[in-house]
Each structure stands twice: as structure tokens, then as C-alpha cells.
Amino acid sequence: MVEEKLIENDKQNKILLIDNYSRGFPTDRISRIETIIKECIAKVDLKTIHFTQFKLNIVEDYQGIILSGSELDVSGFYYDERLKRKFNPLLKLIQNDSQVPILALCFGFHLVAYAYGAQISRMRIIGLGGRIIFILIEKTDELITHKNIPVNVHHLDFVSPNDCKIQKNFEILSTSRTLGYNMVQYMKHNSKPIFALQFHPETHHTYYFHHGLFDERIANKTRMIGQEIIENFIWLCSYHKNKII
């Protein structure tokens, strides 16, 4: 009955997807997010904008916001003030008192951590380029309902679970030790509906996981779990909007 009510009431459910990649950067991740949301059973009015188009005054027009990944690095903010200024509106979005749910992915995850004063560290290796790793969810919730899941990772920046700012402001729900580094994989804010994932639940389109690169069963499970996470966020936004939490 609750789900039927949500389907009926979420006809105007508006989701804003913020594309954090540089204009023209070749990626299928934005289109992958769009595809997942458009195929979701919940009726969603999805709008995608580039991060340079974002204005803080449009936040209340939406029931949910997704911050995408990027080829850029938040760790670069420490020495590139010009780069940081470009993302100041998004940092203000994360810091403000709005109760609009936010799903932050990879680069978006780092924006969230940085906005709350955490240290964004950088691995001194080639990086996690298109890998699939398994992570343990210490406590499942409305976004991630499985305990042990394969996820798609592609990053150099990371956040330590020992960071005092993270421990103060967020509940850490998953960590991993990957290539010798301890890092947060999933955290959510203590009082605001901000959900931050180090990994990419949108994965890539099917053709990316070509034969021989990954075990096909694991790749398919990774894709299915990631899709479920994004769909759960859409439902979460519906619950939040209708005050059925």
C-alpha cells in the first residue's frame, strides 16, 4: 500500500543530476545514471545540468540531487584555488541546511567530505581504474540493503575512516583496505539526508565490461546492485517528500 501511494504521489518527483565532468570529457557514466533513473518504476522528472550551471536557489525545486563523479580531483583544491572556486556553489549546497536528499558519487563523495573539513588524501599509485572490489556493509539501510557487495571503483583520491571530521559528522557504514590504503566506501550524514559513496553504483554500460576483463557473473551483479542503490535513492526521495519515513 505504501509503495502504491508513493507511485501515485511522486508524479512530480523532480531529481537533479549534476554532471561534474569537464565539458566534452568522454564518459558514459552520466548517461548510465540517466538510463537507470528513466527505467525506474517510480515516475521521475529528471534534469541534468553541468556543475557550472548550478545555482543554490534552485535546490528547493527538487526532491533529490545526485552529484556525479569526475575526472577532476578534490585533492587539487589544496593547491588550485581556481579549481576550488568552480565548485564553491556545490560546497555551499552540501553545507547548507536544506533537507533535500543528496546522493554523492566518487568525486561527489570527496566534495561532501571536503565541505565538512575532512582531509582528501591521494594514493601514490596508478589508481583504481575500472576495478571491481567487494566491500562489507557494516549496517544495511534504506540505500544499501546487502551486506557484502561488489562495487565499481575508479579513483585516486580517498578519505580515511580515522579522519576526525568524518567521525564527527557522518556515520561510516563501510570501509575497505584497498591497495594498502584504508578508506571510507560509504557514509551518511548524522542529521541530513546526505549519502556519500566512494564507488560508482552507475557502473558502466554493458559493453564496457568486455569478455575477459571481468568475470561476467560478478560484472552483472555489480551492475545490478549499483542500479538497485540508485533506484533506492529515488524511492528514498519519494518517502522524504511525502514524509513517510
Q: Domain holding 163: CATH number?
A: 3.40.50.880
Show the domain range for 76: 2-241
The three three-digit cell numbers of residue 164, written as one number: 576526525
pLDDT band at 241 (very low <50, low <70, confident <90, very high): low
Alpha carbon 31 to its chain centroid, in Å, reads 15
pLDDT band at 8 (very low <50, low <70, confident <90, very high): very low
Q: Residues 204-218: pLDDT tens digits?
A: 766 555 555 567 788
The three three-digit cell numbers of residue 135, written as one number: 566491500
pLDDT band at 1 (very low <50, low <70, confident <90, very high): very low
Nearest to 166 by CA among 121, 200, 122, 117: 117
Q: Residues 73-121: pLDDT tens digits?
A: 999 999 999 999 999 999 999 999 889 999 999 999 999 999 999 999 9
Residue 104 has what pLDDT? 98
Per the structure, the count of domains in the chain is 1
Residue 90 has what pLDDT? 98
Place of cell 508524479: 11
Give the chain as a DSSP string.
-HHHHHHHHGGGEEEEEEE-SPTT---SHHHHHHHHHHTSSS-EEEEEEEGGG--GGGGGG-SEEEE---SS-GGGGGT-HHHHHHTHHHHHHHHS-----EEEETHHHHHHHHHTT---EE-SSS---SEEEEEE-SS--SS---SEEEEEE--SEE--TT-HHHHHHEEEEEEEEETTEEEEEEEEESSS-EEEESSBTT---GGGS-BTTB-HHHHHHHHHHHHHHHHHHHHHHHHHHTT--
Asked if pLDDT for residue 128 goes beyond 90, the answer is no
Residue 216 has what pLDDT? 79
Residue 98 has what pLDDT? 87
Mean pLDDT of 207-232: 80
Place of cell 566534495: 111
The mean pLDDT of the chain is: 89
pLDDT band at 6 (very low <50, low <70, confident <90, very high): very low
Asked if pLDDT for residue 229 goes beyond 70, the answer is yes
Q: Residues 45-85: pLDDT tens digits?
A: 999 999 999 999 999 899 999 999 999 999 999 999 999 99
Asked if pLDDT for residue 129 goes beyond 70, the answer is no
Does the global pTM surpass 0.85? yes
Taking CA 66 as the corner, what is the angle to CA 86 and CA 154, rounded to the nearest 5 degrees?
80
Q: Residues 168-194: pLDDT tens digits?
A: 999 999 999 988 899 999 999 999 999
Asked if pLDDT for residue 11 goes beyond 90, the answer is no
Residue 245 has what pLDDT? 41
